[in-house]
């Protein structure tokens, strides 16, 4: 007992040290590209010697991949955590996802960067997660995610939403986040039309019904709230520069 207790203490400390390194790495790799982050930076940020980093992760790339997985895991967790409550539908799902984005834009940029032009292993970490999310959505909408047209359509829809978030952040969050997310349901409607056009054999009736119901639900929730003038009227600032 005593012995296993001692071992437990050591293991716990080791695990904590690993976590400290991982958190530091996730933060640094989110803010700067791989080659501009030094191993010593990470170790120093975690309050440790760089040797420990190699002890726990073997190499710089090792901790990089671990950090990316960590980021993905955190996003997934966030998504899962919020799913209870609300309509349980698409809107909630997206709200969960994009609220976490709004809270930590740097991670989000990492994720988007990771999806494009990175090497296969890194891409896979992010894309696997994203396809999982897409498949969940396809399933929820009664669509067949094995159909390439569905895949192309939904992936494009998500990419558009992601980029909308990016531009929205860059432009200083000109509208309420919830309304932006709501608007994604309208672009989804256009995406469904696209899918129908590219493959008329796809049955979209269920998806359209759900989408309408979801929008109604959101509109009703919106109507119940005290609506600020800005958010409602969309009287957004004009860009002059």
Partner DNA sequence: TATGAATGAGGATTCATTCAT
Partner DNA sequence: TATGAATGAATCCTCATTCAT
Among DNA, a second copy, none, what does residue 149 contact (CB within 5–8 Å per kind)? a second copy
| Least distance from a second copy to the Cβ atom of residue 195, Å | 8
Pick out residues in 61-100 that bind DNA (CB under 7 A).
61
CA geometry: angle 12, 41, 170, nearest 5 deg = 105
Question: What is the chain's Cα-based Rg?
Answer: 21
Contact map string, positions 14 to 53, toward DNA, x by CB under 7 A = x--xx----------------x-xxxx-------xxxxx-
**Tokens standing for residue 76:** 């997934």
Give 83's contacts (C-beta < 8 A, 6+ positions apart).
92, 93, 96
Number of DSSP helices (H) and strands (E) in the chain, helices first:
11, 0
Nearer to a second copy, 80 or 180 (CB): 180
- The Cα–Cα gap between 15 and 4 comes to 16
Q: 93 contacts which partner out of DNA, a second copy, none, CB within 5 to 8 A by kind?
A: none
Footprint of a second copy on this chain (CB under 8 A)?
A: 33-35, 109-110, 112-113, 116-118, 144, 146-149, 151-153, 155-164, 166-168, 171, 174-175, 179-180, 182-184, 186-191, 193-195, 197-202, 233-240
Contacts of 26 (CB under 8 A, 6+ apart): 67, 70, 71, 107
Compute the distance between CA of residue 171 and CA of residue 169 in angstroms, rounded to an integer.
5
Tokens, residue 207? 């998806």
Nearer to a second copy, 99 or 189 (CB): 189
- For position 59 contacting DNA by CB under 7 A, the verdict is yes
**Contact partner, 151, from a second copy, DNA, none, Cβ < 5-8 Å per class:** a second copy
**54: how many CB neighbours lie within 10 A of its CB?**
15
In angstroms, give the least distance from the CB of 136 to DNA. Answer: 36
> What does the chain come to in residues?
241
Kindly state whether residue 60 participates in binding DNA, applying the rule CB under 7 A: yes
Q: Between 28 and 101, name the residue whose CB sits nearer to DNA.
A: 28
Residues forming contacts to DNA in the complex (CB under 7 A) are 6, 9-11, 13-14, 17-18, 35, 37-40, 48-52, 54-56, 58-61
């Amino acid at each position: 007992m005593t012995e296993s207790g001692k071992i437990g203490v050591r293991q716990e400390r080791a695990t904590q040290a690993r976590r400290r390194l991982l958190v530091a790495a996730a933060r640094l790799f989110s803010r700067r590209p791989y080659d501009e982050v030094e191993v010593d930076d990470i170790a120093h940020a975690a309050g440790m010697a760089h040797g420990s980093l190699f002890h726990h992760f073997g190499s710089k790339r090792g901790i990089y991949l671990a950090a990316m997985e960590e980021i993905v895991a955190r996003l997934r967790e966030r998504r899962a955590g919020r799913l209870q409550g609300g309509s349980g539908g698409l809107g909630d799902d997206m709200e969960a996802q994009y609220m976490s984005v709004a809270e930590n834009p740097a991670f989000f940029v990492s994720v988007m960067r990771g999806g494009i032009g990175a090497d296969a292993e890194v891409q896979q970490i992010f894309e696997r997660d994203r396809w999982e999310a897409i498949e969940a959505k396809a399933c929820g909408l009664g669509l067949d995610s094995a159909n390439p047209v569905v895949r192309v359509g939904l992936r494009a829809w998500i990419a558009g939403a992601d980029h909308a978030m990016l531009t929205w952040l860059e432009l200083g969050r000109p509208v309420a986040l919830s309304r932006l997310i709501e608007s994604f349901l309208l672009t989804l409607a256009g995406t469904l039309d696209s899918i129908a056009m590219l493959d008329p054999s796809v049955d979209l009736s269920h998806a359209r019904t759900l989408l309408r119901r979801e929008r109604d639900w959101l509109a009703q929730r919106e109507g119940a709230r005290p609506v600020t003038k800005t958010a409602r009227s969309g009287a957004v600032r004009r860009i002059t520069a």
